Amino acid sequence: IDFDLILENIKDLNSLVGEGISQIEHTARGARLKWPEPVPLTLYRNGIVVGHGAFRPYQHPATQQCLQDIMDGYFPSELQPSYPDGV
């Protein structure tokens, strides 16, 4: 696993969604600035943890798909239902 490439691709994906840039959230009384909430990704020698989920070994098919999505320059498809506009 090329951790450097994974980290580089994550950095590129973060810049696509405007990391560190607030967004406008409409409320009943107007609008306010809202900071996007990050989804932590923890890389271990033998697996990963996405968000606050369970540890997943690299051999797990969902882990392989998640990392392949990142390696291909895409947001992990498993996050799409929760974050349809990116994360």
User: pTM of the full predicted structure?
Assistant: 0.74
Of the CATH numbers 3.30.420, 1.10.1240, 1.10.3470, 2.60.40, which one belongs to the domain with range 3-82? 3.30.420
Cα distances from 73 to residues 11, 29, 59, in angstroms, run 10, 38, 21
Q: For the chain, what are the domain ranges? A: 3-82
Tell me, what's the pLDDT at 87?
61
Q: How far apart are CA 58 and CA 32, in angstroms?
A: 40
Q: Who has greater pLDDT, 65 or 39? A: 65
Tell me, what's the pLDDT at 50?
93
- What's the pLDDT band for 79 if we cut at 50, 70, 90? confident
Each residue's pLDDT tens digit, 19-34: 666 778 888 988 888 7
Q: Say yes or no to pLDDT of 2 above 90.
A: no
Cα distances from 17 to residues 29, 35, 45, 51, 70, in angstroms, run 26, 12, 28, 17, 14
Q: Say yes or no to pLDDT of 46 above 90.
A: yes
